[in-house]
Amino acid sequence: METRGYAVLEAGQALQPFTFARRELREHDVAFDIHYAGICHSDIHTARGEWGPAKLPLVPGHEIVGIVTAVGSAQTKFSIGDRIGVGVFVDSCRTCANCVSGHENYCLDGMTGTYNSVERDGHSPAFGGYSNKFVIDEKYAVKVPANLDLASVAPLLCAGVTLYSPLSHWKVAPGMKVGIIGLGGLGHMGVKLAAAMGADVTVFSHSAGKEEDARKFGATNFVNTTQDRFYEPMKESFDLILNTVSAEIDINDYLHLLKLDGTLVVIGLPGKPYPINAGNLLRLRRSITGSMIGGMPELQEMLNFCGEHNIVSDIELIKADYINQAYDRTIASDVKYRFVIDAATF
């Protein structure tokens, strides 16, 4: 099916209009019109070759929402007219222990990314959400709660679940002290979700001007990390800290903040190794770990949680021809707090 989108056609170039074909419906497939697609910083890392050379042409976008237009003959999950969402992967092996337990994001054979990957037929390129139409197996799509604004839901499909998953895994609850480093697309979702789970939330930001928003999203404390030894007043007090920063930072500064058995979760991935001072881990038996998006059951659970708590992303809605400027503004931490593309403009 003919699809219009935006793509990187040659390494180092800006995104530009690109027309391509999506597959015809298979029996378990759902087709939908994309209405909105969020711009995740991972799109930018990939498009600009920061995680290695991308598979070209590259149509980024893995925060996708729309309305179902057709369903395959054996498909049972969606009806025409339903609100539908697709996140960071469109398939996985379906048979490994992690797929079977609903952790498809950790598929032992590697998940099939929504873009910059090859479909499991071994040859078709996967094209992402910066486009006007999509086709996917029903198993890898989720239902979007009816009460949430569709454009503002798009970022939940990556940013939302990427923060929900570690908050849920480390059992965030009232009485816990949670830190979020970086108030960007991921970070602002982390604040909203952790606050809704009852945690006492602190934002660590290098942008002093974001304090009012941090508090509006539910943070009780805001720490300006450009100040020397910013960690001193709150050191040894946090249960869980999530690092969502897209750039290189010294994460050793943040280890000082963890209390006994506290955990620092690395989520932001600038692409270079982080040097760790192991002495900071031994002291107070601290842990450092990572977390990558979430599995399909968790993706639906997160959307349902957001539906119940009326949580969406704060967005700036843009037209397709603004994508390249949006990239530059995201890198400059100048977005409140996620760019979302209106797919009617492709």
Interacting residue ranges for ligand NAP, rule: CB under 6 A: 40-42, 45, 158-159, 162, 182-187, 205-207, 210, 244-247, 249, 267-270, 291-293, 330, 333
**Burial (Cβ within 10 Å: 0-12, 13-18, ≥19) of residue 209:** exposed
* CA separation for the pair 322, 72 (Å, rounded): 35
Single-letter code of the amino acid located at 300:
Q
Out of 31, 68, 86, 99, which residue is the one contacting Zn ion (CB under 5 A)?
99
What is the three-class DSSP state of 71?
strand
Binding partner at 86 among ligand NAP, Zn ion, none, C-beta below 5 to 8 Å by kind: none
Distance CA 275, CA 255 (A): 12
- Taking the least distance from each CB to ligand NAP, the nearer of 108 and 247 is 247
User: Quick one: 169 or 283, whose CB is closer to ligand NAP?
Assistant: 169
Interface stretch with Zn ion, choices 23-31, 41-49, 131-139, 308-316 (CB under 5 A): 41-49
Alpha carbon distance 263, 187 (integer Å): 17
Residue 117: other Cβ atoms inside 10 A: 18
Q: Which helix (H) or strand (E) holds 4?
A: strand 2-7
158 binds Zn ion (CB under 5 A): yes
Closest CB 150 distance from ligand NAP, rounded Å? 20
CB atoms within 10 A of CB 169: 15
- Smallest distance, ligand NAP to C-beta of residue 306, A: 17
- Check binding of 225 to Zn ion (CB under 5 A): no
Residue selected from 7, 15, 31, 40 as contacting Zn ion according to rule CB under 5 A: 40
Residue 41 binds which of Zn ion, ligand NAP, none (CB < 5-8 A, kind-dependent): ligand NAP
Instruction: Say if CB 200 and CB 173 are below 8 A apart.
Output: no
Hey, which residues does 117 pair with through a beta bridge?
Answer: 126
Q: Is the separation of the CB atoms in 88 and 105 below 8 Å?
A: yes
Could you tell which of Zn ion, ligand NAP, none binds residue 207, using a CB distance below 5 to 8 A set by kind? ligand NAP
Least distance (Å) between residue 198 CB and Zn ion: 26
Partner from Zn ion, ligand NAP, none contacting 96, C-beta within 5 to 8 A by type: Zn ion
Report, in Å, the least distance between residue 269 CB and ligand NAP. 5
CB 129, min distance to ligand NAP, A:
14
**Number of C-alpha atoms within 13 angstroms, CB side, residue 143?**
14
Where on the chain is the footprint of Zn ion (CB under 5 A)? 40, 42, 92-93, 96, 99, 107, 109, 158
